[in-house]
Structure 1
Amino acid sequence: MNLTSLPLLAALAALSPTYSTASAPGVPTTLAAPAIDHSLFDKLLKKHVNARGLVNYKGFLADQKAFTQYLDLLSRTPPADSWSRAEQMAYWINAYNAYTIRLILDHYPVQSIKDIGSKIQIPFVTTPWAAEFFSIGGKKMSLDAIEHGTLRKKFNDPRIHFALVCASISCPRLRNEAYTAARLDAQLDDQGRDFLNTPAKNKVSKDAAQLSKYFDWYKADWNENGQSVVKWVNRYSKTKLDDKAKIGFQDYNWNLNEQ
């Protein structure tokens, strides 16, 4: 390939994130689309999410222009293979949380995300999480596709369950900052500590625990790679569980996580 065409290829990559120069013979992989900047979402989260993770949805409605700008950026910039693992994970976590907010705004006011869509909700078929209401890289997507088809399937890191927020009181706290590749590990660990040490979501004593339903619903994830629910709890909880501790699960509060 004539290297005089490289500036044109770089321009094409910048204009169309789905255009990959990495596959073109003789083109340096450095021309691949860079990971996106999540600072616009970061500003909105700082403005409209409080320290408890509760959301000012009316505020997001008032800032729809900026929010739509960020969603458009996500939509036209799917992760490229050249992105690092952390860059891809941060993208998908932010996308899940941002599009969940979008789903609530599209139906606002609602008392619960479960009030959206079909009254008879069949998992992976008719739930709000199964609705393909947005596109990424020209492909129709759902929240289920992000969580189960991408994050759980590709990255195999159970800490995502501390980061994905389904707009409900019993969900983990929605951070009032965006996830970034540079701080992803620290952010996920911080989410784990916050989640396990919030009594409304997890009650832990030495001999017994009443845990979030997350530890029941995603039991297979917590038990992979020689781990266990007890090991994951003890990784983040200030109070440590005995191996033979009695474990139960709290009822899940689906009320909207609104300020």
Structure 2
Amino acid sequence: MKRIYVLTTVCVLSCLGFTINAQNHIDHMVWDQLLLLNVSNEGKVDYKGFIRDKFLFDKYFKSLSTNYPTENAEDTEKLAYWVNLYNAIVMKMIIDHYPVNSINDLENPWKKKSITINNNQYSLDDIEHTILRKMNEPRIHFLLNCAATSSPKLWNRAYTNRNITQALEERTLDYINDSTKNITTNGEVNLSKVFEWYAKDFDNGDIKNYINRYSKEKISKTSKIGYLEYNWSLNERQ
């Protein structure tokens, strides 16, 4: 009954035109409901569920190419839009080619131009490196999901201009203190590859200082940092 109720609600919103609300903000409600329905609290994804809901997903995805933040939009709205778009592109890649074992099984997923916005084509790399990272907000790395087991969890809610400030803090705390992603106990420090790949984004490379702001287990200045092997297997709910 829950699935029928949610899908009925989403269909009504879709028919009413869900992309822009009364305040002229981009509305991610359909994405929010699809995530709530198909992603667990642990970030595991029911890709078959997304495929069942593909009509609604595709409608939302298409809307992102024509409804995007203006230059005068709030920074929080811009950030929410681009993070949602990144995660939606990854979702589209997986469900369009499902079943797959990993996003890396696809042909050049990071550089593939996946959407056209205002006559400009964007890939995942374009969004991450030329837009999001230039916003000088390192916590975005804990919101972006690349459908991998070692990836930050895909949140089962959409990001909005209202919730993204709090979400940045909560998702960062969650990721840094996730013992499957980072091991900082008993003097052992093995971190996610995220901190190696994007080291300069975190306090200009002072990884220990950045980690210690959020970690329950503090890293001493003399600790040697290692990096865990990244698990690219699909973050699928079984």
Letter in 1 for 2:156: N
Q: Extract unaligned runs of 5+ from structure 1.
A: 1-16, 18-32, 118-126
Aligned to 2:180: 200
Q: Distance in 2 between matches of 1:207 and 1:88?
A: 40
CA contact (8 A) 1:75 1:136 kept: yes
User: Following superposition, which runs of at least 4 residues in structure 1 exceed 3 angstroms of deviation?
Assistant: none
Aligned to 1:65: 55
1:133 aligns with 2:134: no
Kept in 2, the 8 Å contact 1:34–1:83? The answer is: no
The residue number in structure 1 matching 2:133 is 152
Question: Which residue of structure 1 aligns with residue 97 of structure 2?
Answer: 107
Instruction: Verify the 8 A CA contact 2:203 2:209 in the aligned structure 1.
Output: no
Q: Which residue of 2 aligns with 1:254?
A: 232
Please say if residues 76 and 138 of structure 1, whose CA atoms lie closer than 8 Å, have aligned partners that are also in contact. no
For 2:218, give the aligned amino acid: K
Q: Deviations over 1:72-127 (max 9, x none)?
A: 2211112211110010000000000011100111111100000001xxxxxxxxx3
Instruction: Look up the SS of the partner of 1:140 in the other structure.
Output: strand
| C-alpha distance after superposition, 1:148-179 (max 9, x if no partner) | 011012x0111010000011000001100011
Letter in 1 for 2:57: F
Confirm or deny that 1:237 pairs with 2:227. no
Structure 2 unaligned residues grouped into runs of 5+:
1-18
Percent same amino acid among aligned pairs?
Answer: 42
Instruction: List aligned pairs for 1:41-190, cutoff 5 A.
Output: 41-117=31-107, 127-153=108-134, 155-190=135-170
Deviations 1:165-211, CA, capped at 9 Å, x for gaps: 01100000110001111121210111111111111111112633110
Contact 1:100 1:167 (8 Å CA) reproduced: yes
Structure 1 residue 243, shift from structure 2 partner: 1.9
Assess, with a 3 A threshold, how the Cα gap between structure 1 residues 48 and 55 changes in structure 2: closer, same or farther.
same
Letter in 1 for 2:117: I
SS of equivalent to 2:155? coil
Q: Measure, in 1, the Cα distance between the counterparts of 2:120 and 2:140.
A: 23
3-state SS in 2 of match to 1:238: coil
Aligned mates of 2:198, 2:231 — CA distance in 1: 17
1-structure distance, mates of 2:118, 2:53: 24
> Normalization by structure 2: what TM-score?
0.87
Which residue of structure 2 lines up, in the alignment, with residue 6 of structure 1? none
The Cα RMSD (Å) is 1.7
